[in-house]
């Protein structure tokens, strides 16, 4: 079997797509039964900050940098009062460090001012924090608070969902919110958080952006881009 070279959309009804998505989910559970967030954390605050730092960076880099930041600034109040230049220096390796430092300190200031120093546990409150959009909020809600309020759509999830034609957005293929809504229609709510983590693992290990390993992919028989509908 050749590697996928282009995204292919099968002709199928919404119910057929939902049935195929269920089979993909079962396949992911066999492959990654313990799939979970790769960002190391011990609190909702640590997960929030690590998720902000992970944008355009790797989890490995964040997992090296974040402990240094948390050791010096263990609470939201500490980070809210931190010198911006010091935070920038600590998180420099994650990239876009100036903007990230502002997001971290400002979101912590908002947490202190509006939430008593504790990370809020609702989507509406989380997305009010500087630097926090739906993707980050979904990570916090699903991973820490165990609330399946949505699907985390990062670059891996978006790429694989499109490649597998679980979603099909065409010119809107980079619109994470629209992709999330598509996935919420075909993936059971109880599996939203797990599905995201498992898809991320599959994207890293098998279905890479440049060279997907369709020949060794156990989900290939369900993937139109791997020739499943030829």
Catalytic residues: 135, 154
CATH 1.10.340.30 fits 44-118, yes or no: yes
Q: Residue 123 in contact with residue 141, Cβ under 8 Å?
A: yes
CATH of domain 14-35+150-226: 1.10.1670.10
> Is the model more confident about 99 or about 175?
99
Reported pTM: 0.91
Q: pLDDT band at 14, cuts 50/70/90?
A: confident
How far apart (Å, rounded) are the C-alpha atoms in residues 116 and 44? Answer: 14
How far apart (Å, rounded) are the C-alpha atoms in residues 164 and 7? Answer: 8
Q: Where are the domain boundaries for CATH 1.10.340.30 in the chain?
A: 44-118
Q: pLDDT band at 7, cuts 50/70/90?
A: low
How far apart (Å, rounded) are the C-alpha atoms in residues 5 and 157? Answer: 18
For 163-215, the pLDDT digits (tens) are 999 987 665 667 889 999 999 999 999 999 999 999 999 999 999 988 899 99
Question: Which region holds residue 165: left if phi is over 0, alpha if psi is between -120 and 50, else beta?
Answer: left
Q: Where are the domain boundaries for CATH 1.10.1670.10 in the chain?
A: 14-35+150-226
163: its two tokens: 């490649």
Q: Residue 67 in contact with residue 42, Cβ under 8 Å?
A: no
How far apart (Å, rounded) are the C-alpha atoms in residues 221 and 219? Answer: 6
């Amino acid at each position: 079997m050749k590697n996928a070279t282009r995204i292919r959309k099968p002709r199928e009804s919404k119910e057929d797509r939902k049935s195929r998505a269920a089979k993909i989910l079962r396949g992911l559970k066999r492959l990654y039964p313990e799939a979970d967030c790769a960002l190391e954390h011990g609190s909702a605050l640590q997960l929030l900050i690590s998720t902000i730092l992970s944008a355009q960076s790797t989890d490995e880099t964040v997992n090296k940098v974040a402990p240094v930041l948390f050791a010096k600034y263990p609470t939201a109040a500490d980070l809210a009062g931190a010198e911006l230049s010091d935070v920038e220096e600590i998180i420099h390796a994650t990239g876009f460090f100036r903007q990230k430092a502002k997001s971290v300190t400002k979101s912590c200031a908002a947490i202190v001012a509006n939430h008593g120093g504790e990370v809020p546990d609702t989507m509406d409150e989380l997305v009010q924090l500087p630097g926090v959009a739906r993707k980050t909020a979904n990570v916090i809600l699903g991973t820490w608070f165990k609330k399946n309020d949505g699907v985390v759509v990062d670059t891996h999830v978006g790429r694989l969902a499109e490649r597998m034609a679980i979603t099909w957005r065409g010119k809107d293929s980079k619109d994470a919110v629209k992709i999330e809504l598509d996935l919420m229609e075909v993936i059971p709510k109880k599996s939203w958080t797990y599905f995201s983590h498992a898809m991320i693992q599959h994207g890293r290990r098998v279905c890479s952006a440049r060279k997907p390993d369709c020949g060794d992919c156990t989900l290939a028989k369900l993937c139109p881009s791997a020739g499943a509908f030829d």
